[in-house]
Structure 1
Amino acid sequence: MSAFFREARATLALAVPIIVGQTSQMLINVADTMMIGHVGTTELAAAAFAGSVFNVVFLGGIGLLAAVSIFTARANGAGDQAGVASWLRHGIALAVITILVQMAVLLPMGGHLHRFGQPPEVVAVVGPYYFLLGVSVVPAMLFQVFRQFAEAQGRPWVPMFIMLGGVALNVVFNWILIYGKLGAPAMGLAGAGLATLLARAGALAAIMAWTRGEPRLGEAWPRPAPGGNGGFWRRWTGGLRADGFGEMLKIGAPAAAMLLFEVTAFTMAALMMGWVSEQALAAHQIALTCAGTTFMVPLGISMAAGIRMSALLGEGRLEARRASGFGAVGMGCAFMSCTALVFVVAGGVIARGFVPEDAEVAALAARLLVVAGIFQIFDGAQVVSAGALRGLADVRVPTGITFAAYWLLAIPGGYFLGVRGSFGAVGIWGGLACGLAVAAVLLVRRLSRLTR
């Protein structure tokens, strides 16, 4: 038992700043939701719709980059600084390629948003916000590479403060651009999109400047060759290997698939909410914002667990894997048990804080938060287990589990309960809860088997 607590403390020390950083990113969504909610229900529903479509493409790219932290942590654990530098270059190159693909998907899709069957008034106002959100993928993806590079080497605190600064910057820009303060025009929903883009660009500039100047991390930055030979492009692309990208994709592609299976389940839930009513879609956005914010804690623990597991492999400490993995799962479930209680007891108060002038939306959001409280524990268990398994380079079986749980159970279940059935918005979220429960049980069993 002492080994579990020892490993849990080590994981928590790494997880705390990651959690704060992850939560700060969700706080951007919370701020957008609350500030857009004061503009109108239609704008709030449009933000939910645009965010759901955007997140499918964005989170798929985040999954592809998951290998940056895994391989950097393993090289760092083995004392291989040349390997650390190589994985930074490979990560940036992969991010650039991913951004090009994401932009090729996101931007043309903006002309076809009416095909998703959403209310006409929502489609009428969503275009500019969706475009600006799509452009913000550029700084957001590059930021992820530098952030994971630093965290994998035990430097999570400065990225955390940079992300918190990004939240503050986003709120300030929201206040100026949504409501037309300090002489700026009142842009409404589009102002929230521009604020997100500017905040993400500022965070990228800050983390790049810090990473280059930090003595240990700066060693991985390519330097000019003696005599000044070699330009910027040659310094960053020198040493890139096809097999290096292959190794990253062996981890990143299944990780991306796992994220896509889960996020598409929630995206389909948002689309089905739009088929139910505009009020259901707005309530879904409120409840999803709250559940997504609490989810950042087990997600941060999951990321730390993956880094710890990979570092243990690099150090050759295979006997510590079980204690490390299940110590992390225990922490995730304990936290989510507390948030489940909060959602069940205080869901009504929370919902009214978002839309104080729309009692119908607030009441429906409160009911959805009760369902969210039910699946909180399962959500924590599945994401931490998946992160620990990723650190062990076990990704194929977990990918199959998430496919079955979300696409074969959660989406059809939500459709038949909420759209075809009589349960409405609550039925759609009930389907999600069933999928999360199945994923949690199977992923925990997989982790137990591989660390036995």
Structure 2
Amino acid sequence: MLQQYTKEFRYNIKLAAPVMMGMIGHTLVALVDNIMVGQLGTAELAAVSLGNSFMFIAMSLGIGFSTAITPLVAEADGENNFKNGKSAFKHGLFLCTTLGVVLFFLILLAKPIMYLMKQPEEVVTLALPYLDLVAFSLIPLISFQALKQFSDGLSMTRHPMYATLLANVVNVVLNYLLIFGKFGFPEMGIVGAAIGTLASRIVMTVFLWVFLRKNIKSTNYVKNIKFFILESKMIKKILALGFPSALQMFFEVAIFTAAIWLSGILGKNPQAANQIALNLSSMTFMVAMGLSVAAMVRVGNQKGLARFEDLRRIAISIFLLSFLIATVFALIFILCNTILPLIYLDQNDIENLADNTEVISIAAKLLVIAALFQISDAIQVTVLGALRGLQDVKIPTVITFVAYWIVGFPVSYYLGLYTEYQSSGIWIGLLAGLTTSALLLCFRFNKLTKALIQKN
């Protein structure tokens, strides 16, 4: 009985591993920024956290919207329908690039909100110039996501990974040169980190575009594209899938962003600790995101072939694999909760010793709670991927809103600001929201797939 699921593990990992590495690569850009900026002080680390909180919201909308491309391309690939696949790619890339430009301008307009958020004044002053440059990087980032989702839909998951790894090399080198002013370069602090992020995202977009034009499997999709000759039918189809998918990711990312803002109300040290725990949790979440893409692609293929029993079996095998991997991460967080925060701060910095010690203490407590929601988070995102593969997006959007904003946020707000739990209370709310989401989405997937099998 169990073997019918475990036998799919090898192929699932083969398909998902490059996506995982690529997703982790995105997070590594933030990790490198946080580690290097952390050497400057807790105020600088909190400023990057505050600036990125705006970015996380915009990125969630852009990345969530781009996921509409994958199931459409995967279904077309399963049906061997080149015309539909190319149309989905062209329209998806056009819409994602347009969305990137819109989000860039929206962030610029939203900057004054920082002054109304009761954040430490020194943190806001540092965050504003950092945000200008990082906001502009949304344009190449979301264009890259369109290319990546198309590549994933064709089961070509390796080269987006290579592009992301190259971007990380560029980011590390530029950070080292520009944050600290090495080898004659100006010492720019966190603005240097922003320049590194922008440059790395441009590089990875150009790299993936060149590869897709040269690869045998994708070249005919990418060449001879008439971007401004658009079909309303395909635009409506992508919008119908992309907008709810964007909202799903937005609702989850927004509650984590709210955790950053609530932590900022508690002070710069709780905010810095929150950023450490959030960054580490994001690393493990990207593994689950890789499996979510694998679920989206494989379910989309099986939907195109109308093999609904295989579709259900394959999806459950991915859920099981996600559960097992998340359990391992949970154990690591529990066993290493006092060690992992040391990566981010300089223990030999006597001037900031008191602040650093407090940040490490808070972060260690948050990692224990993060360990508990590893499983919930992994399950909900892989089930969500399978539902996107089925092109079922409307009900899951309602589920994610209820889970995060009717259940999770009120718990975070009350426990964080009105009880002695403070930072831990904020993260207990995150745990409540993720667990609710996982349970409701599992129920939705079970009901939907059983109905498809009976109908078939």
1:5 and 1:66 mapped to 2: Cα distance? Answer: 27
> 1:299: how far off?
0.8
Q: Residue 373 of structure 1 corresponds to which residue in structure 2? A: 371
Residue type of the partner of 2:294? A
Counterparts of 1:327-346 in structure 2, within 5 Å, are: 327-346=317-336
SS state at 2:227 partner: helix
1:286 aligns with 2:276: yes
Could you tell me which residue of structure 2 aligns to residue 406 of structure 1?
404
Contact (CA 8 Å) 2:53, 2:260: kept in 1 or not? yes
Query: What secondary structure sits across from 2:222 in the alignment?
Result: coil
- The residue aligned with 1:228 is none
Q: Deviations over 1:209-256 (max 9, x none)?
A: 111111221111243xxxxxxxx8xx2233x21111111111111111
Structure 2 CA distance for aligned equivalents of residues 441 and 327 of structure 1: 17
Residues in 2 aligned to 1:171 and 1:62: alpha-carbon distance in whole angstroms: 23
How far off is 1:150 after superposition?
Answer: 1.2
Measure the CA separation in 2 of the matches of 1:34 and 1:96: 30
Write the letter of the residue equivalent to 2:410. Answer: P
Matched to 2:35, the amino acid is M
Who is 2:350 aligned against?
none
Q: Letter of the aligned partner of 1:313 in structure 2?
A: K
Distance 2:11 2:302 in 1: 12
Could you tell me which residue of structure 2 aligns to residue 448 of structure 1? 446
Q: Does 1:237 align with 2:228?
A: yes
Q: CA deviation at 1:111?
A: 3.6
Offset from partner CA, 1:144-187 (integer Å, 9 cap, x none): 11111112112111221111111111111100110011211010
Q: How many residues in Structure 1 have an aligned counterpart in Structure 2? A: 441
**Partner-residue secondary structure (3-state), 2:185:** coil
Tell me how far apart the structure 2 counterparts of residues 440 and 149 of structure 1 sit (CA, whole Å).
Answer: 27
Question: For 1:339-364, what per-residue CA distance to the aligned partner results, in whole angstroms no more than 9, with x for missing partners?
Answer: 11111111111011211331110111
Aligned equivalents of 1:411, 1:56: Cα separation in 2: 16
* Letter of the structure 1 residue corresponding to residue 318 of structure 2: A
Give SS of 2:106's match: helix
Structure 2 runs not aligned, ≥5 long: 348-355, 451-456
Counterpart in the other structure of 1:176: 177
Following the alignment from structure 1 to structure 2, what is the Cα–Cα distance between the partners of residues 307 and 440? 20
Please tell me the residue identity of whatever aligns with 1:372.
Answer: A
Amino acid at match of 2:439: V
Map residues 126-165 of structure 1 onto 2, 5 A cutoff. Answer: 126-165=127-166
Contact 1:325/1:447 (<8 A) preserved: no
> Which residue of the partner structure matches residue 313 of structure 1?
303
2:357 aligns to what?
Answer: 359
User: CA shift at 1:117, angstroms?
Assistant: 1.6
**Aligned-partner Cα distance in 2 for 1:3–1:254:** 33
State the alpha-carbon separation in 2 of the partners of residues 111 and 274 from structure 1: 16
Unaligned runs of 5+ in 1: 224-231
Tell me, in whole angstroms, the C-alpha distance in 1 between the residues paired with 2:231 and 2:419.
53
Partner Cα separation in structure 1 for residue 363 and residue 186 of structure 2: 32
Is the 1:280–1:361 contact (alpha carbons within 8 Å) kept by the matching residues of 2?
Answer: yes
Residue identity matched to 2:322: G
User: Could you tell me which residue of structure 2 aligns to residue 271 of structure 1?
Assistant: 261
Measured after TM superposition, the shift of residue 449 of structure 1 is: 1.6
CA contact (8 A) 2:373 2:431 kept: yes
Query: How far off its partner does 1:397 sit?
Result: 1.4
* Alpha-carbon contact 1:99-1:137 (below 8 Å) kept: yes
Q: Does 1:262 align with 2:252?
A: yes
- The equivalent residue for 2:352 is none
Map of 1:82 onto structure 2: 83
- 1:23 counterpart residue number: 24
Alpha carbons 1:8, 1:324 under 8 Å: kept: no
The residue that corresponds to 1:200 in the other structure is 201
- Listed one character per residue, the Cα deviations across residues 367-425 of structure 1 (whole Å, up to 9, x for unaligned) are 10011001111111111111111111111111111111110111110111010112110
Normalized against structure 2, the TM-score is what?
A: 0.95
Q: Is the 8 A contact 2:213 2:223 kept in 1?
A: no
Matched AA of 1:327 = S
Partner of 2:426: 428
Q: CA-atom RMSD, angstroms?
A: 1.2
Using the alignment, how far apart are the partners of 1:194 and 1:52 within structure 2? 18
User: How many angstroms apart in 2 are the aligned matches of 1:342 and 1:90?
Assistant: 42
**Aligned equivalents of 2:339, 2:121: Cα separation in 1:** 31
1:256 maps to amino acid: A
Give the whole-Å Cα distance in 2 for the aligned partners of 1:293 and 1:413.
25
1:55 maps to which residue?
56
Post-superposition shift, 1:12?
2.2
Asked if 1:96 is matched to 2:97, the reply is yes
Amino acid at match of 1:68: I
Identity %: 33
Query: What displacement does 1:80 show?
Result: 0.9
- SS of equivalent residue, structure 1 residue 155: coil
Which AA in structure 2 matches 1:326? Answer: I
**Paired residue for 2:454?**
none
Residues 101 and 138, structure 2, Cα contact 8 Å, conserved in 1: no
Q: Once structures 1 and 2 are overlaid, which stretch shifts more, 263-272 or 151-160? A: 151-160
Find the aligned partners of 1:10 and 1:449 in 2 and give their Cα distance.
Answer: 26
**Mean CA deviation greater in 6-15 or 30-39:** 6-15
Contact 1:26 1:289 in 2 (8 A): yes
CA contact (8 A) 1:89 1:237 kept: no
Q: Distance in 2 between matches of 1:190 and 1:245?
A: 38
**Correspondence for 2:119:** 118
